């Protein structure tokens, strides 16, 4: 028997999430007084401990790719990047799913999609979606989730975080957008903790957009850094055909750090934060490229990375480093045309120095973060 078409609403890709009913200040602080790790584990600590009712039948959210660390900001600095890079999650009320639970119906998209399991307890989107359901106290309906991967695994562009961010927002908005931005980050962190470590420098900017600084995890405190709207900033992202698992790249880090390296990296990270709020792309780039602790250990593990950084700088980039744990190389510049020239040189260097094929994207800063892109009325 045919049924009437369900009204569908589509939002432009720059729409902010429905739950953002107030603007953030230049250094807005999103705080959680309880221990972050325990906040999302029980319904009693949720924003809405009573059973929530869905506002929509189905909802689709998109979350952007991210660049974490930004050189000296290991595990505490990150930003969201545009260019359409990211993951998309659709959540739907599904009578076939046990009430209060979530099932993954489909995973598609990039070539890595076939590598991902559909067990929601071990899938990034599933873990974050379940965490959001617990926060909301959802018990009367079951949800099915479909994940479209726009990002490859192990790319250094926050692939797991984008899936988690999109899922957390989608679940929250399906029930009326009751979760606050910090709660969404905590839901995403539950996923990150299970698959790549308890750090929010990817999931934070993927949800909030722009630049973020993680000041503390116990208690959890994240600070948004406002890059001036009248300044241009372009990221040159060059991703080689090479997987750099986060676990392996973390194993390369030193157990002890010399005091002089700690002082150097601290000063560079401080300069980077100042450059962000001042809109000084040159200083931002030079500070980003000055990591003395992490990049020197990881770069040799990515074929051609040292030569790629050299090529980017010689082509006029203000700075270049490894995006997240790699293997993507990221450079910054203030002109898109110049960014395209730098990208070509970096691609050539990956081929010549690392014998790797690569793809390049020149993207602006994503100031929005995770957002709803489509809904179906209940």
Spatial contact of 370 and 319, defined as CB atoms under 8 Å apart: no
Strands 86-93 and 77-80: unpaired
Q: Cα separation of 60 and 38, whole Å?
A: 28
Can you read off the two tokens belonging to residue 59?
A: 């909802």
Spatial contact of 291 and 268, defined as CB atoms under 8 Å apart: yes
The single residue listed with the structure tokens 């110049």 is 338
Query: What's CA 203's distance to the chain center, in Å?
Result: 4
For the beta sheet containing 358-364, the strands, ordered from the edge strand earlier in sequence to the opposite edge, are 319-322, 329-333, 234-240, 358-364
Q: Is 246 a catalytic residue?
A: yes
CA atoms within 13 A on the CB side of 195: 29
Selected catalytic residue, list 192, 295, 321, 375:
192
Strands 329-333 and 220-225: unpaired
Selected catalytic residue, list 66, 90, 246, 375:
246
**Cβ-based neighbour number of residue 65 at 10 Å:** 32
Q: Is 173 a catalytic residue?
A: no
Spatial contact of 307 and 352, defined as CB atoms under 8 Å apart: yes
Q: Cα separation of 290 and 97, whole Å?
A: 51
Helices 124-136 and 159-174: crossing angle, nearest 10°? 30
At residue 73's C-alpha, the angle toward residues 179 and 63, to 5°, is: 35
Strands 220-225 and 211-217: antiparallel
Q: Would you please indicate which residues are annotated as catalytic (active-site) residues?
A: 192, 246
């Amino acid at each position: 028997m045919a049924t009437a078409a369900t009204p569908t609403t589509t939002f432009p890709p720059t729409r902010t999430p429905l739950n953002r009913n107030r603007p953030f200040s230049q250094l807005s602080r999103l705080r959680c007084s309880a221990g972050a790790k325990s906040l999302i584990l029980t319904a009693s600590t949720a924003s809405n401990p009573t059973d929530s009712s869905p506002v929509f039948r189905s909802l689709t959210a998109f979350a952007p790719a991210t660049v974490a660390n930004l050189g000296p900001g290991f595990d505490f600095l990150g930003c969201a990047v545009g260019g359409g890079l990211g993951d998309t999650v659709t959540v739907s009320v599904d009578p076939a799913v046990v009430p209060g639970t979530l099932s993954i119906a489909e995973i598609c998209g990039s070539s890595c999609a076939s590598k991902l399991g559909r067990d929601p307890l071990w899938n990034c989107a599933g873990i974050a979606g379940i965490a959001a359901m617990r926060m909301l106290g959802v018990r009367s309906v079951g949800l099915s989730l479909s994940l479209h991967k726009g990002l490859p695994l192990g790319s250094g562009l926050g692939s797991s975080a984008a899936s988690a961010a999109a899922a957390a927002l989608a679940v929250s908005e399906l029930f009326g957008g009751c979760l606050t931005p910090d709660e969404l980050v905590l839901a995403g962190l539950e996923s990150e903790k299970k698959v790549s470590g308890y750090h929010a420098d990817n999931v934070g900017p993927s949800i909030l957009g722009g630049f973020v600084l993680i000041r503390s995890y116990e208690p959890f405190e994240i600070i948004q850094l406002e890059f001036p709207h009248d300044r241009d900033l372009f990221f040159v992202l060059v991703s080689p055909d090479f997987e750099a698992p986060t676990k392996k790249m973390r194993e390369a880090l030193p157990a002890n750090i010399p005091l002089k390296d700690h002082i150097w990296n601290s000063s560079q990270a401080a300069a980077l934060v100042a450059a962000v709020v001042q809109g000084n792309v040159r200083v931002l780039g030079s500070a980003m490229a000055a990591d003395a602790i992490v990049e020197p250990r990881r770069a040799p593990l990515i074929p051609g990375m040292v030569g790629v950084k050299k090529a980017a700088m010689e082509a006029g980039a203000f700075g270049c480093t490894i995006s997240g744990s790699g293997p993507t190389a990221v450079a910054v510049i203030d002109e898109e045309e110049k960014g395209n020239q730098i990208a070509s040189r970096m691609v050539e260097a990956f081929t010549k120095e690392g014998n790797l094929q690569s793809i390049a994207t020149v993207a602006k800063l994503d100031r929005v973060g995770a957002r709803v892109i489509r809904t179906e009325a209940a």
